[in-house]
Chains A and B, each alone.
With several copies, the nearest count.
Chain A
């Protein structure tokens, strides 16, 4: 499946595709498909009563994969939020790890079952541990970037959140701090138009989250979050600026959430099925597939093979996680404080 084909002419007709490169385009597509399949399975196991709770990414895959591809995994520091499973996959978290997380297993690398699913943490990818309170990771991102810069690393820090988070004091204080110190941070807002039930117009009196950047003297960009290529390009530009010492950027990806906020939410209370349906017409996965096919980079055969592979991967990850042991209650008092005394 690593073969890259397609006519140069077709790709040239879509210059964005050309700029990004076929290998990356195909990788983006494969991750989006995998993410969607895992995501759908999560809702299934939740409805089956096998896990109590899920919170997922459906509809926002393109925004996340486009952003992740602009980063150097394991080199750049990442502060995701609970909707970022596609981002995590793209960075290198495995499907098995994601499913271990959903099943709250001892082996879950994010928290060993201590946190709700989708509260990510993974040292090998420099993914810092996150919490549920919205927006708190934004000052952390500034601090992480400060530390990297102080050590002379050329890594950037990537921080992800929803448009609702931009109303918090921590968004303001964190972005302002990063702007004043010109820290190498990418503030990445996935504007899916709702914070649970609250629509964007009740969240802010501006049309675009990117407009908030003006308050901090930093660039603010708004891109189509259903187009992973556009997101990749916008985030790449922000990353390059940050690496070059040009300070932070606020990137807004306009997107939509296809599922309820969480498995506890009933989204019919605040948005119409037709609105969701309407939005699904720009589902990033079929859009991308079509684009790849038009560019001659993908065909039905490859699609079938991918679907099979993905189904197998999801099955395996789910089966593994389902049978994996839960955390040991004897460990519940551990890690309140460091276990070994400081080196002194």
Chain B
């Protein structure tokens, strides 16, 4: 067990999986010589050579499309999209191709592919280096969507994603890359895709979060705990397929639900989780569900004062907890 930064955990996962399985390759813009703009792939080119660590042309649709072809033909590609904000040109390859290959071939072909992308706000990245794109993909049957919040999960889930038989969209909360440190178990540490994690137990209300917001939610829970409000925090980790049981189990226990995400409100993950509660736990709910999210603006503006005005922070989350607990 050693304390590591999230970015190190990710690099280790890539390194170990490349060492373990010669079918694993990495491709994307600047992933080779430069080692990635966030240095997630640093050292891999030297170690595994240019046939397995590929600096690609500036072509997101081809990065994913090439990875799909390679996956169908026996490789386990890990495609990097430099920022999640630039994943949209690859939408067709992801949604119409990767997600449907197994289904449309009636199971004859599979697409074991990981698309990694740093996502999220809080780094003064402006409209095009701050986006949250998870709900586009969590909507699409045939895709798995994973967002780790801790270094241990980042490593273990990325390794699981690489070993998965199906396409996984692996979104990395880039604000957490260096900010969040944590213990990472030694050895071949794999965290299964699917189960959510109760990151903090509590009695009065359930707060579901993921990525960087998990940490702010935990801080807010700590803050209101001093006021006697006991918050159970669920770290989603896998957004699709959704771990309905863990969410519902917690909601049935606490009777109150809030969801925190930095994606904008309408049709963000919070919508699906609130809907789940309204369908499956309505009689257990003691108060209206709450969503603490970015408002419906097109990602975060650049100027610090503007970004701070829209991005959920600990105070806003804690305030919502207090209001929900009192309701």
Chain A residues within 8 Å of B, Cβ to Cβ:
52-53, 77, 79, 104-105, 109-116, 119, 121-123, 128-129, 131-136, 138-151, 157, 164-165, 167-170, 173-174, 176-177, 180-181, 195-198, 202-204, 264-265, 269-270, 326-329, 331-339, 342-344
Contacts and interface: CB of A to CB of B under 8 A. Distances in A.
B97 A140 contact: yes
B305 A327 contact: yes
B68 A140 contact: yes
A176 B309 CA distance: 42
Given A116-B129, A327-B303, A332-B301, A202 B55 contact: yes
Contacts of B308: 329
A116 B33 contact: no
B62 interface: yes
A86 B58 CA distance: 24
Contacts of A197: 30, 32-34, 55
Contacts of A104: 302-304
A198 B54 CA distance: 11
Nearest to A340: B165
Nearest to A162: B58
A326 B305 CA distance: 7
Given A113-B301, A133-B85, A203-B58, A344 B72 contact: no
B128 A169 contact: no
Report, nearest first, the 6 A-B pairs whose CB atoms are least far apart: A139-B65, A143-B69, A140-B69, A132-B128, A113-B303, A173-B62
A220 to B, nearest CB: 19
Nearest to A52: B124
Contact of A338 (B57, B89, B97, B166): B166
B202 interface: no
B136 interface: no
A333 B142 CA distance: 11
A134 B30 CA distance: 15
B120 interface: no
A245 B5 CA distance: 42
A168 B67 contact: no
A336 B102 CA distance: 6
Contacts of B126: 114-116, 119, 132
Contacts of A328: 305
A144 B316 CA distance: 43
Contacts of A331: 306
Given A197-B34, A344-B190, A143 B55 contact: no
Contacts of A116: 125-126, 128-129, 302
Most A CB within 10 A of own CB, among B56, B93, B128:
B56
Interface stretch (B107-115, B214-222, B245-253, B284-292): B107-115
A338 B105 CA distance: 12
Contact of B107 (A145, A170, A174, A339): A339
Nearest to A330: B309
Interface stretch (B73-81, B150-158, B271-279): B73-81
A141 B69 contact: yes
A68 to B, nearest CB: 19
Contacts of A128: 69, 72-73, 109
B164 interface: yes
B223 interface: no
A327 B89 contact: no
Given A150-B51, A177-B56, A337-B166, A196 B37 contact: yes
Nearest to B103: A335
Interface in B87-101: 88-89, 92-93, 96-97, 100-101
A198 B29 CA distance: 7
A139 B125 CA distance: 25
Contacts of A176: 57, 59, 62
B72 A129 contact: yes
B127 A115 contact: yes
B322 interface: no
Nearest to A145: B69
A44 B308 CA distance: 25
A344 B163 contact: yes
A181 B71 CA distance: 17
B281 interface: no
A165 to B, nearest CB: 7
B303 A114 contact: yes
A147 B166 contact: no
Given A129-B108, A150-B52, A173-B57, A144 B69 contact: yes
B58 A131 contact: no
A317 to B, nearest CB: 18
Nearest to A141: B69
A202 B127 CA distance: 29
A264 B226 CA distance: 40
27 contacts: A52-B304, A114-B104, A114-B303, A121-B108, A121-B109, A131-B127, A132-B126, A132-B127, A136-B97, A139-B65, A139-B66, A139-B93, A142-B62, A142-B65, A144-B72, A150-B52, A167-B59, A173-B62, A173-B65, A176-B62, A177-B62, A197-B55, A198-B33, A334-B107, A337-B165, A337-B166, A342-B165
